[in-house]
Amino acid sequence: MVVPDFSRGSVAEAINGICNLANTYGYQIMVFPAEDENRNAKEVWSDVIASQVDGVLYLNDLLAKKDIEHIKDMNIPIVVVSTVVRDADIASVNIDYEEAAYTITKNLIDKGRKNILFVSTSRSYSMNNEKQKGYLAAINEAGLKSKILKTSGKPETNNSVINECLDNNKIDGVIAVRDSIAVSIMNVAIDRGDDIPNDLEVYGFQNTRTALLSRPQLSTIDSPTYEIGKVAMEMLTVMMEDDNVKEMKVLVPYGVIERGTTK
């Protein structure tokens, strides 16, 4: 497994799904951290190759062009997990992020919300780009003005950026690409005197524990990360056992969970 930050709830759930199925099939799991500022992509992939693994599950959110080139050169089965790969013949498992974002944006519009903020990350991730497409599709369809905020993705550093955005914009709805970012915005809004969900309705993405621990509890897209990890491991097993299976792209069903931050 090539993985990003282990502290993310979504990553941990996917790893649980992978490891449980790997144990059933008798596979050993090796972990290669991808987000290390002291190591570049070439070094990570060199370590993977040197370890003579039978297959790779790539869980890192950021799939750069150089990573795709390394994947193609490896000539072993690889499945990309929760990251969108459109222009390369690489197996992948995720949800339809664009459709999901469109759905919750339209939910807010249908309830009369007209000033909906989409909050993404400063760093470009394929899945977040897909979510933004879905948001823009619903906003444009309704003839509304789009509002997009890019943040660091780190709750501890986002407050000033969020406050500045709320100072300069009238916002009555928020869609954030991660639960943690959604909760950060909600907390700032509450501190400013906003009533959630009457003044401001908020949706997140992933349905992590953060969504349940917030007050009010966060409405969110339920991305079944455990199931995604399990399906990815099943796909990789098929590819390792049959050389003729080269590419599969699977979309796992998602859900919309309505809790206390939406009406």
pLDDT, tens digit only, all 263 positions of the chain: 988 766 666 678 888 899 999 999 999 999 988 765 545 667 888 888 889 899 999 887 777 777 777 777 778 898 998 888 776 778 899 999 999 999 999 999 999 999 999 999 998 888 999 999 999 999 999 999 999 999 986 767 788 899 999 999 999 999 999 999 999 999 999 999 999 999 999 999 999 889 999 999 999 999 998 899 999 999 999 999 887 776 688 999 999 999 999 99
Structural domain boundaries enclosing 158: 97-222
- Predicted local distance difference test score (pLDDT) of residue 229: 92
Listing DSSP states for the chain in one string gives: -EES-TT-HHHHHHHHHHHHHHHHHT-----EE---TTS-HHHHHHHHHHTT-S-EEE--S---HHHHHHHHHH-S-EEEESS---SS--EEEE--HHHHHHHHHHHHHHTT---EEEEEESS--HHHHHHHHHHHHHHHHTTPPPEEEEE-S-GGG-HHHHHHHHHHS--SEEEESSHHHHHHHHHHHHHTTPPTTTT-EEEEES--HHHHHSSSPPEEEE--HHHHHHHHHHHHHHHHH-TT----EEE---EEE--TT--
Query: In this structure, is residue 87 part of a structural domain?
Result: yes
- Predicted local distance difference test score (pLDDT) of residue 43: 80
CA dist 111 and 120 (Å) reads 23
Query: In this structure, is residue 259 part of a structural domain?
Result: no
Q: 232 and 214 in one domain?
A: no
- Predicted local distance difference test score (pLDDT) of residue 142: 98
Q: 177 and 127 in one domain?
A: yes
Q: 123 and 58 in one domain?
A: no
Q: 153 and 176 in one domain?
A: yes
Query: In this structure, is residue 101 part of a structural domain?
Result: yes
CA distances from 56 to 111, 114, 124, 128, 180 (A): 44, 44, 23, 23, 28
Query: In this structure, is residue 263 part of a structural domain?
Result: no
- Predicted local distance difference test score (pLDDT) of residue 50: 87
Q: 101 and 90 in one domain?
A: no
Q: 168 and 246 in one domain?
A: no
- Predicted local distance difference test score (pLDDT) of residue 168: 95
Edge-to-edge strands of the sheet including 78-81? Answer: 32-33, 2-3, 56-58, 78-81, 91-94, 249-251
- Predicted local distance difference test score (pLDDT) of residue 148: 98
Query: In this structure, is residue 238 part of a structural domain?
Result: yes
Query: In this structure, is residue 82 part of a structural domain?
Result: yes
What's the pTM? Answer: 0.88
Q: 164 and 124 in one domain?
A: yes
Number of domains in the chain: 2
Structure tokens at 6: 């282990």
Q: 239 and 186 in one domain?
A: no
- Predicted local distance difference test score (pLDDT) of residue 126: 86
